Amino acid sequence: MNLDRLPADAVLAANRISPYIRQTPLEHSPYFSEQTGANVWLKLENLQLTGSFKLRGAFNKLLSLTADQRGQGAVAASSGNHGAAVAWAMAQLKVAGMIFVPEQTSSVKVEAIRRAGVTVEFFGHDGLDTELHAREYAHAKGMHYLSPYNDAAVIAGQGSCGVEIARQLNKVDALVVAVGGGGLVSGAGAFLRSAYPNLQIIACQPVASAVMAESIQNGKILDLPSAPTLSDGTAGGIEPGAITFELCQQLVSQFVLISEEQIAAAMRDFIDAHHMLLEGAAGVALAGLRKKATELRGKSVVVIVCGANISRESLKKIL
């Protein structure tokens, strides 16, 4: 994928999807600013329709297809948020389809998909297994597969988040974001780097599933196991040949790995300070902010609070 074209594609995506999504607030955080010594702003994608940023990429991909192509139906694979987003977008655009999810997917996320009227099928224990199966199913049925990250239109759609941030804040020194397959950091990061050439991009992953970080360190996509984590939205492997791998190589300034205890603590503090729900992946980014507080002191920092879809069971674990 051409990195130079991505910022322009993100602007096009932002305009294309604007009638269908919510422009989320960019809220200053006195609490995390005091904690870190940075000027911290939170991009509240936890308030996005369907409860995560994933709706941006889902709508941009489906709207990039012709009406005839949409008529062939769509298939997606997801640990939950991408599936819920695709299901919502399919319902709004009257596209038929199916969502495959890993066996351990949060019940809250599965029910969100079903409520949109889309069939849910369980397959595999790792997100990568589910993705590969869904891609094969779509090919066999003549349907369109919507990757959660390995697709130029999906990445550009996630980039619309960066377009909004640049419109909402005139100075950004650092972007802190949780990373799974790399779609959000690639899209939003590419646009914001074009607007702020010296932007530091800090990518955060749970220690329990740091596949992208380990892959970047080794210079190739690795097939690694993932342990259970509060950050189920970022867990799992990376599809072979994923275009986000090279984008992360070019864009990410550094990776930060976060323990489960650090994720839980950041989630508790956000709930107490901002009186909103967030999911584990968002806690990863907030914990990453705290872990890098010394070098971020005095800087204008945006943390993307990427989602709010958390089950009661997971919420009980952290409180």
Mean pLDDT of all residues in 89-97: 94
Domain boundary among 120, 146, 172: 146
Domain boundary among 127, 146, 165: 146
**Tokens encoding 257:** 């790995």
| Residue numbers of the domain that contains 242 | 3-52+152-318
Contact 244, 149 (CB under 8 A): yes
| Residue 124: partners with Cβ closer than 8 Å, 6 or more residues away | 102, 103, 130, 133
Same domain, 239 and 100: no
Same domain, 245 and 209: yes
pLDDT at 93 over 80: yes
Same domain, 188 and 129: no
Same domain, 98 and 10: no
Same domain, 111 and 202: no
Domain boundary among 124, 146, 168: 146
Bridge-based pairing of strands 39-44 and 26-28 is antiparallel
The reported pLDDT for the residue numbered 106 is 73
The reported pLDDT for the residue numbered 79 is 65
Q: What is the per-residue pLDDT across 78-91, written as a single tens digit (0 to 9) for each?
A: 867 888 899 999 99
Q: Which residue has the tokens 């996630």?
A: 158
Q: How many residues does the chain have?
A: 319
Same domain, 173 and 196: yes
| Residue 141: partners with Cβ closer than 8 Å, 6 or more residues away | 73, 75
Q: What is the per-residue pLDDT across 45-62, written as a single tens digit (0 to 9) for each?
A: 999 999 999 999 999 999
Same domain, 34 and 122: no
The reported pLDDT for the residue numbered 129 is 87
* Measured CA angle at 182 (ends 296, 233), to 5 deg: 95
Same domain, 68 and 128: yes
Q: What is the per-residue pLDDT across 156-187, written as a single tens digit (0 to 9) for each?
A: 999 999 999 999 999 999 999 999 999 999 99
**Tokens encoding 23:** 């422009």
The CATH code of the domain that includes 47 is: 3.40.50.1100
Number of domains in the chain: 2
Contact 40, 94 (CB under 8 A): no
Q: What is the per-residue pLDDT across 187-231, written as a single tens digit (0 to 9) for each?
A: 999 999 999 999 999 999 999 999 999 999 999 999 999 999 999
Same domain, 183 and 289: yes
Same domain, 186 and 133: no
- Please, what is the end-to-end C-alpha distance for the chain in angstroms? 42
The reported pLDDT for the residue numbered 212 is 98
Same domain, 168 and 274: yes
Same domain, 105 and 170: no
